[in-house]
Every structure is written in structure tokens, then in C-alpha cells.
Structure 1
Amino acid sequence: MSFPIANINLLRKPLHLSNTDFDLVQITQIMPDEEFGEQVGMTEASKERIWKATEQLYKTGTQPAITLCLRKNGKILLHRSIGHASGNGPNDTNNSEKVVATADMPVCLYSASKAVTALVMHKMAEQGAVNLLDPVSFYLPEFARHGKGNITLHQILSHRGGIPGLPKGIPLDTIYDEDKVWELLCDSKPITVDGSKLAYHAITGGFVFQHVVKKVMGVTINEYLDQHFRQPMDMKYFTFGLEEEHRNQVAQNYATGPNAPFPMSWLVKRALGASFPEAAMISNDYRWMDCTIPAANLYASAEEISRFYQMLLNQGEWNGKQILEPETVIRATHPFGDFSFDRTMMIPMRYSAGLMLGGKPFGMWGKNTENAYGHIGLINKMCWADPDRDISVAILTTGLALASHHIPCLVKLMHVINKECS
């Protein structure tokens, strides 16, 4: 069975495949924990329209696999997968072993990891272990070099910390050495120190928080995450990096779609320190799964991420356990300023201390989503909660495509979810 590709020269290495008579049922998994539409205050027709929009995104040929988990009113409405976990990407052949995706497979979240890392910091603040208004240098004095002594934890959470990227020209595998990265960050010169410039911190902030957790709590950020989130919420994955026992189940990432043209290619390289093909290659490397990169390598299933956001909708409660205090959730989701021009992403953005916020009449999470919050991962992974619609959503994809014809289908899927769940 072959991955459906539109009849255009779309991929970097085009596949001469057709979607004629393609049977989506054979590569679709529906989990038994789904509720009927009527049980969550919707119709079965509404539920079906959301899934049809998901299938349309798959049919663009840019996403080898999609996993979706959507909770409505606290209950699972959709929990499904479509496509292949591996063996059916642009550079695979017809003879490659094709592994059908499963709805509960672990997926690398890329930047959607930042939401979890941010809530780790908010949890520490809740415990009184840190004050988010303190300078980073209060906990880690070496960070104060080159005038960074007054940059606060809150500024870095809200992407106003003045250290949006690592120095140019460093080898990509430097990211596997957290001590080397930390030294580079301490030695870096900020673009601002007063929080006046919004510039998305694609990877740097996570390394800062990683060192704060280790210094203050005396444990790794993975150990802290395990103790305060993963175990209490009964997660199977939900770790930075991925344990060896789960790597045979992980979804492979693929660079799909056309090569990003200039200036998009320049913007991507500046933000990530890598192109999309490089990002896909790195994330499939076991060294990436062995290390901890809090801004980019959390592994989780779609259901686990939906569960995480449902906990936030529940004001920090999950199955009778108070994971976060209600005040902590409010602080983490409260807007920090209005829409501002992001100097890294080159678009207007609206953030809280760690989350990407929606807007009115339009925002990151669609139309009339001013109270919604979440985080994207490399453009195509969408994870969010919307208290107005009472939904928590995780759309996890495995295709890394920027300027491609799938974007209208991705936007439409989010629109259909918002419309049917309103």
C-alpha cells in the first residue's frame, strides 16, 4: 500500500504514486475509548465531519502519519490514527517495510514540548522553589555574563529573554551536549535585557530551565517531570527523550513538501538552527532520543497530550489528583501583553508565560479563540485547549512541511473542530 501523493512535483524526491482506489480503512486505527457524539453533547455527524477533515489533511500527501485525540466536555470524542509510522516517506521505496501507525504511538513533539517545560517551571513556582520574577542569575550566577544579570525566568518563558538562538555556525550535534550548550548561552550577548523585544526562543529557553531545575531541585528535569506529572497522570511516555524499550514503536519524522524558498528557508534556519530536512534527520537519530532537550524532544502520544491539556482545563485536577493548583493554571495561561510582532517568527504573536494564545477575531487556534492556549510543534503539530468550547486537542503529524498545499487543509481541520465543538 502506498502513500497518496498529489499529482505534482511536490516532494524533494517525488514518488510516482497514485491515490486511486486507496483504502484508508486499512491504515486507520480507531481506539475503543471513543464516546458517541451524543455522550459529549454533539452529534455523530459532527464527529464524522471532523474525521473527514483529518482524512483530507492526510490525502495532501505531506503527512505520512497523523494521530488525533480530541476531548470534548472531558470525554474522548476522537482517538484515532491514519497513515504509516515508518516506511512510507518521500525517500522510502515501494519495497520499504511499511509500518501502519497506531493511535497510541509516541511522537516527538518538537516545540510543542515547551508547554510542558513551562508548566514544570510554574509547578516549581507553586512549590515556592523559584520565583518566576527572579533573574536567572539568582539561581545560576554564570548566566549574568555580557549584561544578562537581570533577565528573568518570566521573560524567557514569554520569549522576551533576549537569547532567541544559539550562536551561528556551531555544529548541529552540539545540542547533544547540554553542558556545552549552557556555556554557549552564558557566553552569549543578548539582543535586549529589558523584555522589550519579543523574539521566539526556539530551543534556548529549555536549556535554561533544565539547569534551573537541576540547580534548585537537585534532580534532572525528566525526574521532576516524572514525579509531578508523568506518574500522577499515569502516562506511558511523556518524557524528554525516549527510553530504548519504546523506540520500536516511535513514529519516524519526514521532511515533506517543497524546499522552503528564501526568505522562509532563512527564517527557519535562524529560528531552529537547522533546516526541516536536518530537523527530521536529527529527530530520528537515537542520540536525539538519548538526550534531554526540554524545548524540543518531549515524546508522547496524542492522547497523553490531550490528557495534559484536559488537566489544565480542569484547573489542574486529573482523576482526583491536584496536579497543579488552580491559581497556577491561571498564571500559566494569563496573557502577557497583546499581539506583538515576533522578531524570530516574523508574525504577530500573543503569549502567556510559556503558552501560545489564541485571539479574536482570529488567532493561533482559529476564529474567536481568545481564551484558547497551547503550543505548536514545527508548524504542523497542533496541541491546545479551549475553555470556551471545553475541548483539549492534540493533532500530531509526522511530516515536516512549511510552504505546502497542506496548509489550507490543516487550517480547515482546526476550523471544523472549532465549529463543530462550539
Structure 2
Amino acid sequence: MTRDNVEAIWNSVESFYRTGLQPGMTMVIRRQGEIVLKRSIGHARGNPPPNHPDQDVDQVLMTPDTPVCLFSASKAITAMLVHKLQELGKLNLNDTVGSYIPEFACNGKEKITIAQVLSHRAGVPQIPISNPHPSLLFKWESVIDLINSGYTNHGDGNQQAYHAIVGGYILGEIIKRITGKSVAQCLHEFVAKPLGAKYLTYGLDKKHQDLAAFNYSTGALPMFPINILAKRALNIDFEKIASISNTADFMNASIPAGNIYGTADEVSRFYQMMLDGGEYQGKQVFETNTIASATKPVGPIKLDKTLMIPIRFSDGFMLGESVFSLFGIKARQAYGHLGLINIVTWADPAREISVAFLNTGKSLDPRSLPALGKVLVSVGSNCSVLNN
């Protein structure tokens, strides 16, 4: 890469910022293991959209060391905790969920496997309750009881429907029952500590909560049918998510599918470890075959019945495509995860890059996706393919 390549990528980020939809943004790119871009723009706090109640909040600059909620990009890291348990011989991904959570094995859910949960083929994409109060997300046992009592007509693994919230709780409960530890403890033991990460935590310790970037709902309110799709995926209204995420209750909770906090550098470090066959600074965080298993496609590209877009999954990761995908152009080998619309985290073995693009504007405004697409295309265009 040349300096011009780096600046071209950053220019696309600045262009996104100029839409006014992103109060704060931070990006880290590693290329062949070396950091080539580590920058931020905007504010972690105090840069809300017009007429927001936070107008008087003191401005705090966003930095590459600011902890940001990853939202659904958390899923990929949570998935690796499950893969670690398989590596340790504690489970097999082809085991049924009911083998570890007996109460789950009812109402059409008897044959659902752990692998199907990881790949969004478990047939239980939503919490089985209408219009749940957002505070339900902070009540682990209540959510698990609801999931266990739910039913499905798609428990055969044939239908792909993105599990925005439910899958994380199922995996988290399996982790708890096998290890006797909280998911937070396992995340620290298996991932954060070996990577030397200050964060990569579910929620944030109280002493760090004042450092967290605030999220804001920005731009035009989502219209039909986008608002309906968002509500169906998330169980709650899209525009409420940002304000909920700024509360102490959210930061005190463990939500495996959606509230890991990390810096852009820490997340890029995680994906670099994946690129390096599970190794970080001489430590084998995951075995090489574990990485291969976690990133292997489970099937061809399919229309997802929740997201209503065509997408491929592995057992835990969203996958790239040859033409255009979540990870830019000609990124068939790439794997990673999207986080609440605009956060994108990924590794691309063909380009030898690990990327974390974190931001705080939660928007379904029509200007948002083209601006994000410009960033993704710029990364792919300015990081030439090194390995076919």
C-alpha cells in the first residue's frame, strides 16, 4: 500500500462523516499484520443530531481508543467462544441444543443443533413475545425462559433467518451450563486476556462507562417496509436502540448477540489473530483448524428470511462474495460481521487485511448505505489482492 491508498480510504470515511449521520467514527486497518490506518473523526459524546436532548452534553473527541458498542458485530466474537469449547472437547457443534439446555427441547425445537444456531438456521429468530419492553434484554433468565417455551415450524435447519437476539442468548446459556462461568468470564479468559485487550467485554465495567461512545439515532426515520423489517429482526423499534444503549442498565448487562464493547484497534487485533491462524504474539489463542471450521461456509448464498437480502453464513460469521458484499468488492474469502447497520468488522485473507470500522450513528436514512458502500469499496480498491 502507498500513502495515497491510505488517504483514499480515509477520504471515503470523511465523506461519510459529512453526511451528518455519524457523530463519531473510528477505523483501524492492519495489512500483513501492520497497522496502516488508525484514525477517528467526530465525537464520542456531545455531537448529537439536531433537537436531541444531549445538546448540552460536553463534547468528547472520538479516538481510536474509545470503547464503542459493536452491537451485532459481537456475534462473531461470541461464536468463537463456542468454537473454543469444541476445541477443548466440551461440546460438538452437531450436538442438539437440548443436550445442554433440556428445557429447550420442545415445541418443534428438539432437533435444533448448536451449529444451526450459529448459522442462523435454528428456526427461532425472534423472542416469542409481542412488543417486548426493551428492559427485557437485561433479564437473562426471563429471556431464556421465553426462548425455551417457544415453538417453531422450522426446526429442521432448512430455513435461514437471521437470529438478531435469540441466538446469542442460546449460545450464552450453553456456555454458562458447560463451564459454570458467566459469558463475561469466558470472553475475558478465551479472547480479551490473550489479546491483551482492555475491553472486548460484554457491557462495560462501571469505571469505564464514562468513556464509552454514545450512540444516536440520526437522519430520517425509517419508513415502510424498512421499519417493519427492522422491528421484526430486533423485536423493538429501531429508533429506540440508540438511546437504550447509552444507559447504565445496557452497559451493566451481558447481551451475547449485541453488546460487546471494544476499540477499533482491539477488534482489528481479533481479526488479525484469525488471519494468523489463531496466533497472537506467539500465543495460540485458537487452533488453526478451529479458525478454519469457524469460517467455512455452511451452504450457498440464500435469501435470508429476516434480513430479506441474499447472504452466506459460516458457523458464526457473515461471508463475502465475488462481486459486492458487506466487505466490499471481490471479497469472496472475507469473513466478519455487521453491527447495527453501519459497523463493519472483517478479515480478508486474499488482501491480508483485518478491519474494524466502528461508528455511532444508527441510521436507516437513504444516504447512509451509499456512503457506507463507498467506504467498503474504497478499502477493497486500495488494498490489492495478494493471494488468490
TM-score of the pair, normalised by structure 2: 0.96
Contact 2:25 2:41 in 1 (8 A): yes
Mean Cα displacement is larger for which, 249-258 or 88-97? Answer: 88-97
Please give the per-residue CA displacement for 1:325-350, whole angstroms capped at 9, x wherever unaligned. 00000000000111101000011110
Give the aligned residue type for 1:285: T
Contact 1:163 1:191 in 2 (8 A): no
Residue 93 of structure 1: CA displacement? Answer: 6.7
Q: Which residue of the other structure, out of 350, 357, 367, is the alignment partner of 1:395?
A: 357
Residue 303 of structure 1: CA displacement? Answer: 0.4
SS at 2:25's partner residue? strand
Contact 1:70 1:78 in 2 (8 A): yes
Residue 365 of structure 1: CA displacement? Answer: 1.2
Describe the shift of the 1:95–1:127 C-alpha distance in structure 2 as closer, same or farther (beyond 3 A): closer
SS at 1:219's partner residue? coil
**Following the alignment from structure 2 to structure 1, what is the Cα–Cα distance between the partners of residues 114 and 54?**
47
Q: Residue in 2 aligned with 1:421?
A: 383
**Following the alignment from structure 2 to structure 1, what is the Cα–Cα distance between the partners of residues 219 and 317?**
28
Q: Residue in 2 aligned with 1:176?
A: 138
Which residues of structure 2 form unaligned runs of 5+? Answer: none
Residue 119 of structure 1: CA displacement? Answer: 0.6
Q: Residue in 2 aligned with 1:155?
A: 116
Please give the per-residue CA displacement for 1:143-199, whole angstroms capped at 9, x wherever unaligned. 012121110000000000011011222222111110000000001111401111000
Q: Residue in 1 aligned with 2:45?
A: 86
Please give the per-residue CA displacement for 1:11-57, whole angstroms capped at 9, x wherever unaligned. xxxxxxxxxxxxxxxxxxxxxxxxxxxxxxx1111111111111111
**Following the alignment from structure 2 to structure 1, what is the Cα–Cα distance between the partners of residues 254 and 158?**
30
Q: Residue in 1 aligned with 2:221?
A: 259
**Following the alignment from structure 1 to structure 2, what is the Cα–Cα distance between the partners of residues 141 and 94?**
50
Give the aligned residue type for 1:78: L
Contact 2:330 2:380 in 1 (8 A): no
**Following the alignment from structure 1 to structure 2, what is the Cα–Cα distance between the partners of residues 330 and 197?**
24
Contact 2:346 2:356 in 1 (8 A): yes
Q: Residue in 1 aligned with 2:310?
A: 348
Contact 1:112 1:377 in 2 (8 A): yes
Give the aligned residue type for 1:134: D
Describe the shift of the 1:98–1:343 C-alpha distance in structure 2 as closer, same or farther (beyond 3 A): same
Contact 1:146 1:190 in 2 (8 A): yes
**Following the alignment from structure 1 to structure 2, what is the Cα–Cα distance between the partners of residues 389 and 179?**
43
Matches within 5 A, 1:100-249: 100-167=61-128, 168-249=130-211
Please give the per-residue CA displacement for 1:233-287, whole angstroms capped at 9, x wherever unaligned. 1000000111011111100000001110011100001100122221001101110
SS at 1:147's partner residue? coil
Residue 88 of structure 1: CA displacement? Answer: 1.2
**Following the alignment from structure 2 to structure 1, what is the Cα–Cα distance between the partners of residues 57 and 343?**
26
Contact 1:64 1:85 in 2 (8 A): yes
Give the aligned residue type for 1:53: S
Describe the shift of the 1:289–1:191 C-alpha distance in structure 2 as closer, same or farther (beyond 3 A): farther
SS at 2:148's partner residue? helix
Q: Residue in 2 aligned with 1:72?
A: 31
**Following the alignment from structure 1 to structure 2, what is the Cα–Cα distance between the partners of residues 419 and 295?**
31
Residue 138 of structure 1: CA displacement? Answer: 0.6
Q: Residue in 2 aligned with 1:22?
A: none
Matches within 5 A, 1:274-313: 274-313=236-275
SS at 2:44's partner residue? strand
Contact 1:161 1:192 in 2 (8 A): yes
Residue 358 of structure 1: CA displacement? Answer: 0.4
SS at 1:145's partner residue? coil
Contact 1:176 1:287 in 2 (8 A): yes
Give the aligned residue type for 1:166: I
**Following the alignment from structure 1 to structure 2, what is the Cα–Cα distance between the partners of residues 94 and 289?**
22
Which residues of structure 1 form unaligned runs of 5+? Answer: 1-41
Q: Residue in 1 aligned with 2:323?
A: 361
Mean Cα displacement is larger for which, 42-51 or 57-66? Answer: 42-51
SS at 1:416's partner residue? helix
Contact 2:6 2:37 in 1 (8 A): yes
The answer to whether 1:43 aligns with 2:2 is: yes
Mean Cα displacement is larger for which, 127-136 or 221-230? Answer: 221-230
Give the aligned residue type for 2:318: M
**Following the alignment from structure 1 to structure 2, what is the Cα–Cα distance between the partners of residues 344 and 93?**
33
Q: Residue in 2 aligned with 1:52?
A: 11
**Following the alignment from structure 1 to structure 2, what is the Cα–Cα distance between the partners of residues 405 and 191?**
38
SS at 2:76's partner residue? helix
Residue 92 of structure 1: CA displacement? Answer: 4.9
SS at 2:36's partner residue? strand
SS at 1:117's partner residue? helix
Contact 2:328 2:379 in 1 (8 A): no
Contact 2:131 2:236 in 1 (8 A): no
SS at 2:210's partner residue? coil
Contact 1:133 1:152 in 2 (8 A): yes
Identity %: 44
